[in-house]
Structure 1
Amino acid sequence: MEFQIRSLYVSYRGPRFKKIRRLGALPGLTSKRPRVASDLRNQSRSGKRSQYRIRLEEKQKLCFHYGLIERQLLKYVRIAGKAKGSTGQVLLQLLENAFG
């Protein structure tokens, strides 16, 4: 599967470990491990996570992990939707080929 996409790399300039702690495990970004106690603090007030929240967090993980802005991610999702096969698998292949 060949796709020609010009990649613009946008690097996040803020506090990386705070972002990793909020989004959960993002392998390969840091060797630090979040403490278990920080997870308990957030779970006590949050309760059950809605489908909207789960999808939003996954989208934010993708954007942060690959250094994308939302518009670039939407472009990749549209290309993956037009391709044959599972949209999620094709999307991850596109992102890995472009940024991995």
Structure 2
Amino acid sequence: MIFFQDKKIMAKYIGPKTKISRRFGECIYGEDKYFERRKYPSGQHGNNRRRGKRSEYFIQLIEKQKARYTYGILERQFESLFFEASRKKGITGELLLQACESRLDNIVFRLKFAPSRSSARQIVSHRHIIVNNKIVNIPSFRLKPGDKIEIKEKSKKHPVILNSIYNKKTGPLVEWLVLDEKNMFGMFRMIPKRIQIPENIKEQLIVEFYSK
């Protein structure tokens, strides 16, 4: 199964997102009507086919891959974030997720300036985002508490941004961000604690994977 091969360098996945969500058994990219219709991988026997006992390594690998695909981070970048976290004082798994959450593309998504993280990466790359009064076009740019994030004046009528901001289906804003919806700017208040990160990721399995 090519998808789960653990290579040092992997290109960003650009195929069907529903297919990836079905591999993990949960909708990791947000609302997906196709996933809700069928939540298991395709195949002759569908959800009833027998599966052998999964090894500890395989379970850890899947969790690591799920985190990577959730945040849209390349293998080498993710590995770098892990080892950076492992050198700091604190709980490595929590520090890893905090680093992922502090990325600019993730913050743009959390502020509802984009409907998904992949869309947020495009918005950042296309120079629609200003951080502390300077245009930043690097999706992996890491924010610090107190940083101000805003939509460039000329981009405030961008249809993707407008539709995302005023989409009533989006969930509540996370408590570690501040958003001024009317003026289209937000602030990164603080590094979130693990309990404040809504993603369903078992980070300890990722720590165990890299610790082998």
Q: TM-score, normalised by structure 1?
A: 0.74
1:54 paired with 2:59, answer yes
Q: CA deviation at 1:62?
A: 1.1
Q: CA deviation at 1:43?
A: 6.4
For 1:75, the equivalent position in structure 2 comes to 80
Q: Which fold has the larger relative contact order, with Cα–Cα distance below 8 Å and residues 6 or more apart in sequence?
A: 1
Tell me: CA distance 1:78–1:53, structure 2 relative to 1, closer, same or farther (3 Å). Answer: same
Q: CA deviation at 1:41?
A: 3.6
Per-residue CA distance 1:7-58 (angstroms, 9 max, x = gap): xxx753101101100122144523332535x378456422322111111111
Greater fraction of residues in strand: 2
Distance 1:59 1:34 in 2: 26
Distance 1:50 1:64 in 2: 21
Equivalent residue runs for 1:31-42 within 5 Å: 31-32=32-33, 33=36, 35=38, 38=40, 41=46
Task: Letter of the 2:38 partner, please give it.
Answer: R
Aligned residues: 90
Distance 1:43 1:83 in 2: 44
Tell me: CA distance 1:84–1:26, structure 2 relative to 1, closer, same or farther (3 Å). Answer: farther
For 1:24, the equivalent position in structure 2 comes to 25
Question: Which secondary structure does the structure 2 equivalent of 1:48 belong to?
Answer: coil
Identity of aligned residues (%): 40
Listed as ranges, the gaps of 5+ residues in structure 2 are 1-10, 107-212
Larger Rg: 2
Greater fraction of residues in helix: 1
1:87 paired with 2:92, answer yes
- RMSD (CA atoms): 2.3
